[in-house]
Amino acid sequence: EPEVTQTPSHQVTQMGQEVILRCVPISNHLYFYWYRQILGQKVEFLVSFYNNEISEKSEIFDDQFSVERPDGSNFTLKIRSTKLEDSAMYFCASSDRQTNEKLFFGSGTQLSVL
Amino acid sequence: AQKVTQAQTEISVVEKEDVTLDCVYETRDTTYYLFWYKQPPSGELVFLIRRNSFDEQNEISGRYSWNFQKSTSSFNFTITASQVVDSAVYFCALSEGPNTGNQFYFGTGTSLTVIP
């Protein structure tokens, strides 16, 4: 079965540094998402992306976050100036249709901000 | 208010026992979708099932079954004859629709441990 691939699996950074989390969605999918899961808590929606623009974003997704599809295969999440509370597992997901379709998730990037 | 509530934080069962994971949701939409995902120790989120609000038929897939009851806003998940490989965190999720952003609301998860 096709997979969503995320790199790196673990990222450690110093507070205030910029990080870029990378994702390769399933090749024929058109809708892309980022979710995060703080340790021991529920998975939370960050942002959805379609046709090179953000479709929807949560209140978590503030000005320090940005997303980009720099080429035909990658989908990135950038955190401009990391804070301690950004430490979490970040999941990329994709779907082939927009409305309420199941999401295929990657295996996540564990971000640790020191 | 939580849109999805999974009241059971942790459950332990002995192998071959049946176990039911509860999920209660809250929405004002008449069209919505419910999902279950499994998160094994390796961390990925694995899709298990998707149901829409107009289909209340219960579903069975092997040892897995789902009981959707709109009257109680519940979408419970039963594993029959549990196995050690079923040990994981299970998340219930809601998508309200039509939803232009396909935003999922996840519950807090139920951690299932199956003891050999």
**pLDDT tens, residue by residue, B93-116:** 998 866 656 788 999 999 999 999
Q: What is the mean pLDDT of residues A38-45?
A: 89
Q: Looking at residue A55, what DSSP letter applies?
A: E
How far apart are the C-alpha atoms of A97 and A40, rounded to whole Å?
Answer: 30
Q: Quick check: B97 and A101 CB within 8 A?
A: no
| Phi (first) and psi of residue A76, to 5 degrees | -120, 150
- pLDDT, residue A102, reads 85
Give the pair of three-digit tokens for residue A6.
């995320």
Cβ-based neighbour number of residue A103 at 10 Å: 26
Please give the pLDDT value at position B58. 84
Question: Residue B43 has what pLDDT?
Answer: 85
Min distance A14 CA to chain B CA atoms (Å): 24
Question: Tokens at residue B106, please?
Answer: 């996840």
**Mean pLDDT throughout A14-35?**
94
Q: Would you state the pLDDT for residue A99?
A: 61
pLDDT for residue B56: 83
**SS3 at position B72:** helix
What average pLDDT does this structure show over B16-20? Answer: 97
Percent of chain A with pLDDT over 70: 97
Q: Return all residues near A41 (Cβ < 8 A) that are at least 6 apart.
A: B108
Helix (H) / strand (E) containing B65: strand B64-69
One-letter amino acid identity for B74? S
Q: Which residue in B35, B42, B99 is closest to A102 by CB distance?
A: B35
A63 pLDDT band, cuts 50/70/90, is: very high
> Around A114, how many Cα atoms within 13 Å sit in the side-chain half-sphere?
4
Phi, psi of B91, deg, nearest 5: -115, 135
Cβ distance of A89 and B35 shorter than 8 Å: no
Query: Which of the listed ranges B46-60, B67-81, B95-109 does the model predict with the highest average pLDDT?
Result: B67-81
Six token digits for residue B66: 């789902």
The arithmetic mean of pLDDT across residues B8-22, rounded, is: 97
Most confidently modeled of A12-21, A97-106, B49-58, B99-108?
A: A12-21
Handedness of CA B27, B28, B29, B30 (dihedral sign): positive
Question: 3-state class of A86 per DSSP?
Answer: helix
Residue A28 has pLDDT above 70, yes or no: yes
- Nearest CB among A33, A89, A103 relative to B43 is that of A89
Cβ distance of B101 and A55 shorter than 8 Å: yes
**CA gap B116, B110 in Å, rounded:** 19
The pLDDT, as a whole number, for residue B99 is: 60
Residues of A in contact with B100 (CB under 8 A): 55-56, 98-99
CB contact under 8 Å between B100 and A55, yes or no, is yes
Judged by a CB distance cut-off of 8 A, whether residue A5 touches chain B is no
pLDDT of B1 reads 62
Structure tokens at A32: 């892309």
Q: How confident is the model at residue A12 (pLDDT cuts 50, 70, 90)?
A: very high
pLDDT at position A19 is: 97
